[in-house]
């Protein structure tokens, strides 16, 4: 750790060392989706659930083409996989993915330390010969600047625009196949680190999806003639990414194009509305986060992964808070009163996580249809 403390365990996955912010995730399923969530760029994940690796790994449960996380910390050693979908042991997949891991740590003690003191910077190191230069590792941890002021979206975004056509996986007795839908709406998804299941959800909602890089110019978005624009999740400090993202979002708002943002996209929308964001002490990371929808009064159990929050009191007058966290009352959603625009802080595609928030994709497509109808009527 940056303060010089050392936690010992047994190395697994790739040999080597990686520096990052040490956080924890409370999910009990979906470790492969978590490790490949681009929003975890720059972070070392402590899993609070002890049974990680017991269902192996496969090529279908990836949320990105390669992991963005820096490493993982486990309580128990990885066991032999026991699941019909397993294609290889998790340890073999970690080696192939160049992810460093440790097992045998007291993850409860580490989690309490993070909970009480905030997420520290640290180095995770695996040396098969057992030889470590502890002084050098401490220096690396202390020298790492942390996630504040760090733009990581550029590291995980796509290199060029492409069309995404896959819908949701459907599992059954005959194996797995892709559900199909006939697209009637064209959505441009700005990729700040988009999880693949989000794109699948948009396809199943009836959208033709064109994915564009985080650094896309507003004119390039408009040339695609979208019916709606989606702002994806992603890693890092929204204020740093906002330097190039906010002007584009403002231009989209000026065109009155329906817009839906999640996670980092939610934070970037808030910045475009004149709001501010700040680093949280812990952040929200897990598949069991309660959120209240203030418009319906319903409580959703959500999947979340973020370390920054929107300060609702800084938003413009035409913005309305729609969702709040029942853990700490932090902002979890907003909408505009005078434009077809809304966003949420959590992951409605819910992979991994509950399915309580899937309605938001239909809310988005309904909003687009209503906007198109009103324009035709005008």
pLDDT > 90 fraction of the chain, expressed in percent and rounded: 92
List, as own/partner pairs, every contact residues 171-180 make where C-beta atoms lie below 8 angstroms and the sequence separation is at least 24, other chains included.
Answer: 176/60, 179/204
Q: Are 13 and 101 in contact (CB under 8 A)?
A: yes
Q: How confident is the model at residue 340 (pLDDT cuts 50, 70, 90)?
A: very high
Active-site annotation holder among 263, 266, 284, 306:
263
Tell me: the pLDDT tens digits for 285-336? 999 999 999 999 999 999 999 999 999 999 999 999 999 999 999 999 999 9
Helix (H) or strand (E) holding 153: helix 153-156
Tell me: the pLDDT tens digits for 70-87? 999 999 999 999 999 999
Quick one: pLDDT at residue 15? 98
Q: Is 21 a catalytic residue?
A: no
Rounded Cα–Cα distance for residues 87 and 62 (Å): 13
- By residue count, the chain amounts to 378
Active-site annotation holder among 266, 284, 306, 347:
347
Query: What angle in degrees, to the nearest 10, is found between the helix axes of 196-204 and 359-377?
Result: 50
| Bigger pLDDT: 81 vs 178 | 81
Mean pLDDT value of segment 96-120? 96
Sign of CA pseudo-dihedral 9, 12, 18, 23: negative
Sign of CA pseudo-dihedral 226, 218, 257, 269: positive
Tell me: the pLDDT tens digits for 232-281? 999 999 999 999 999 999 999 999 999 999 999 999 999 999 999 999 99
Check whether 176 has a pLDDT greater than 80.
no
Q: DSSP assignment, residue 77?
A: P
Q: Is 349 a catalytic residue?
A: yes
Q: How many helices (DSSP H) and strands (DSSP E) are in the chain? A: 10, 18
* Helix, strand, coil distribution of the chain in percent, nearest 5: 25, 30, 40
- Mean pLDDT rounded to a whole number for the chain: 95
Check whether 175 has a pLDDT greater than 50.
no
Rounded Cα–Cα distance for residues 48 and 113 (Å): 13
CA neighbor of 153 nearest in space, from 53, 252, 84, 68:
68
């Amino acid at each position: 750790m940056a303060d010089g403390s050392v936690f010992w365990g047994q190395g697994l996955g790739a040999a080597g060392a990686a520096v990052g912010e040490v956080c924890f995730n409370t999910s009990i399923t979906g470790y492969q989706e978590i490790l490949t969530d681009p929003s975890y760029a720059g972070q070392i994940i402590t899993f609070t659930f002890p049974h990680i690796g017991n269902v192996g790994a496969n090529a279908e449960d990836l949320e990105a083409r390669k992991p963005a996380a820096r490493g993982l910390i486990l309580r128990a050693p990885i066991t032999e996989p026991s699941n019909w979908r397993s294609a290889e042991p998790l340890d073999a997949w970690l080696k192939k993915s160049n992810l460093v891991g440790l097992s045998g740590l007291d993850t409860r003690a580490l989690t309490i330390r993070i909970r009480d003191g905030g997420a520290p910077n640290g180095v995770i190191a695996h040396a098969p010969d057992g030889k470590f230069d502890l002084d050098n590792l401490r220096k690396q941890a202390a020298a790492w600047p942390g996630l504040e002021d760090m733009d990581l979206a550029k590291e995980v975004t796509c290199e060029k625009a492409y069309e995404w056509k896959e819908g949701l996986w459907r599992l059954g007795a005959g194996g797995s196949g892709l559900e199909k839908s006939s697209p009637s709406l064209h959505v441009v998804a700005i990729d700040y680190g988009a999880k693949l299941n989000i794109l699948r959800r948009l396809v199943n909602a009836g959208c033709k999806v064109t994915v564009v890089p985080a650094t896309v110019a507003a004119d390039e978005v408009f040339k695609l003639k979208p019916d709606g624009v989606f702002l994806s999740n992603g890693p890092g400090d929204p204020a740093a990414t906002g330097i190039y993202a906010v002007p584009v979002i403002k231009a989209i708002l000026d065109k009155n194009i329906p817009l839906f943002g999640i996670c980092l996209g939610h934070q970037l929308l808030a910045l475009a509305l004149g709001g501010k964001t700040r680093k949280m002490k812990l952040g929200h990371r897990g598949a069991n986060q309660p959120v209240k929808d203030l418009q319906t009064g319903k409580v959703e159990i959500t999947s979340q992964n973020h370390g920054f929050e929107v300060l609702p009191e800084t938003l413009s007058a035409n913005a309305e808070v729609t969702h709040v966290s029942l853990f700490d009352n932090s902002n979890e959603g907003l909408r505009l009163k005078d434009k077809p625009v809304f966003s949420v802080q959590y992951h409605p595609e819910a992979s991994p996580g509950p399915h309580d928030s899937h309605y938001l994709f239909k809310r988005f497509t309904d909003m687009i249809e209503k906007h198109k109808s009103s324009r035709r009527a005008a």
